[in-house]
Structure 1
Amino acid sequence: MFEKIDELKTELDRHRPLSPSMAKNLQEDLILRWTYHSNAIEGNTLTLLETKVVLEGVTVGGKSLREHFEAINHKQAIEFVEQIIQNQEPFNEWQLKNIHQLILSNIDTDNAGRYRTQNVIISGASHTPPDFLLIDDKMRELFAWYDSADSLHPVERACRLHSEFVIIHPFIDGNGRTARLLLNFELMKAGYPPCVITVDKRLAYYEALDNWASVGDKSLFFSLINKCLLESFKPYQLLLKF
């Protein structure tokens, strides 16, 4: 399924390392689009351009303080993930909780970086996350699987980490944004461009996740990520002409 993606990555690798100016341009574009779309999927009403000015330090009238912090926090979480990759640090629970803490900073301090202590339901979904008393065990199992999953194709490993995390739903809020950061952590670590799931694909995204969680069918999610990743190569293709 990921043959075309691997072909594009091979072509991108031929152009690496990118010039500092091009790398900076691509990173700024990525952070903006990733932040806007990931927040919009969760209901944030900032437009793409409003997100841009918020990330530049400008307050947008008529928008809530929470929406401003969601944009700022998400950028900081991306930068934290990039730092983990740059330092070649092994991924662990401490880093996961730090990512989540950044996501909910100045929004929900009591729950930022802490597993939920109550049961939840996911509106519209046909599956129910596990009892909160099982969270610690479920997360230990997830990290044990992750540490032994090196043989998987990097895109499949990224998809599985994202989706199994979502199914556990370990935090009271911020699980979706955190899951998409985990997805892209795996992809970026392996040299792929980050996958930006755009807000217009929100319904397909939710349906694919619910299909995975309720009946174990992973094909819809793999297909969706495959399409989104192909789109993620386009800025590189535009600038590098391949």
Structure 2
Amino acid sequence: VHQLVLKNIDDTNAGCYRHENVIIAGAQHIPPEHLHVQPLMTELIDCYQNQACHPVERAARLHVDFVGIHPFVDGNGRTARLLMNFDLLSSGYLPVIIEAENRLVYYEALDKAHTGKCYQDYITMVVEAEEQALKRYLSIVR
């Protein structure tokens, strides 16, 4: 997915885990050192596959944890949102859109989850976005 996200933008890094340490501008969270990315991604996949929670919560947690690892130099947020939406779709839910006017709230909810292990604000944001998507869908089919 990441390789497609960065295709013709950064072909050198597209689909490749980062080989350098990074920081996220404006965030308190500091992503793990690049040497830890591979094992953390393996752990993320294992945890994701063994989660027994509601599909919307699972998709939201996948997004938060993926972005927290920040496995790529660029395109982490776009890739995480696509993964979240693929997961929602595969569970019979609609894809969600994080609206531009909610960007600051989105970043704050992610940072809160990363620094305090408190996922609720982000999960609530995804639930509300899912409700909005359903309302849009229903208004179209009516």
TM-score higher than 0.5: yes
Deviations 1:23-79 (A, max 9, x none): xxxxxxxxxxxxxxxxxxxxxxxxxxxxxxxxxxxxxxxxxxxxxxxxxxxxxxxxx
Output the amino acid matched with 1:118: E
Is 1:168 the equivalent of 2:69? yes
Output the amino acid matched with 2:33: D
The residue aligned with 1:123 is 25
What TM-score comes out, normalization by structure 2 length? 0.97
Deviations 1:64-95 (A, max 9, x none): xxxxxxxxxxxxxxxxxxxxxxxxxxxxxxxx
Q: Distance in 1 between matches of 2:61 and 2:126?
A: 11
Query: Cα offset for 1:239?
Result: 2.5
Q: Which has the larger radius of gyration?
A: 1
- 2:27 partner SS: coil
Is 1:198 the equivalent of 2:120? no
The residue aligned with 1:111 is 13
Count how many residue pairs are aligned between Structure 1 and Structure 2. 142
The residue aligned with 1:148 is 50
What residue ranges of structure 2 are gaps of 5+ in the alignment?
none
Matches within 5 A, 1:155-234: 155-234=56-135
Q: Distance in 2 between matches of 1:213 and 1:239?
A: 37
Contact kept in structure 1, 2:61 and 2:123, CA below 8 Å: no
Output the amino acid matched with 2:138: Q
- 1:122 partner SS: coil
What residue ranges of structure 1 are gaps of 5+ in the alignment?
1-98
Query: Cα offset for 1:240?
Result: 2.8
Q: Distance in 1 between matches of 2:126 and 2:140?
A: 23
Is 1:133 the equivalent of 2:35? yes
Percent identity for Structure 1 against Structure 2: 48
Output the amino acid matched with 1:178: T
